[in-house]
Amino acid sequence: MSGQKNGILLIEHKPNQNENNHTFYETGNFEVNCICPIVDRNNGISNFFLVGGFDSDIGEGQIKLFTFKQKNKIEEGYSSIEFLQNIELEFNSKFQGFEMPITGLHQSSVDGKLLVTSLNNVYLLSKPNLDFYLNE
């Protein structure tokens, strides 16, 4: 809709308190439809998550990688999120990109592969490779 902001609402739930902190992270012309935490089978849940949606500037579905940024003290939780990169996929005769918005992301607990749904198709992608960010 015209004038509507696209983004991610991060809510920090504080048990036993009446207030929760919240921050809205604008994503520009990227319309967020779904979020999927990334699980590393060796280390458990990571600080990374994928966001699926639609980029109205280029007219195609996209998947983006984000991370949680911790506060100074671990027990205080997370204070923000940070965009890391667009997920780049190899194009071939069978895959020319996501023509429609990404509507669902799910990571398999068995092999780490991603099940991606759009308005017109279902895709099975390899498990996310986060080595670059984990080694940083």
Q: Read off the pLDDT of each residue in 43-69 and give the average, rounded to a whole number.
A: 90
CA distance 97 to 91: 7
State the greatest distance between any 2 C-alpha atoms of the chain, in Å, as a whole number. Answer: 55
Position 11 scores a pLDDT of 83
Q: Give the range among 2-6, 47-51, 63-67, 82-86 with minimum mean pLDDT.
A: 2-6
Three-state SS at 4: coil
Identify which of 116, 90, 86, 80 has the alpha carbon closest to the alpha carbon of residue 101.
116
Lowest mean pLDDT across 25-34, 44-53, 66-75, 119-128: 66-75
* Nearest Cα residue to 48 out of 112, 122, 118, 115: 112
- The whole-number pLDDT of residue 18 equals 77
Is it the case that residue 42 has pLDDT exceeding 60?
A: yes
The token pair that represents 88 in the structure block: 């780049």
Looking at residue 17, what is its pLDDT? 76
| Separation between Cα atoms, residue 6 and residue 119, nearest integer Å | 19
Say whether pLDDT at 76 is over 70. no
pLDDT computed for residue 33 by the predictor:
96
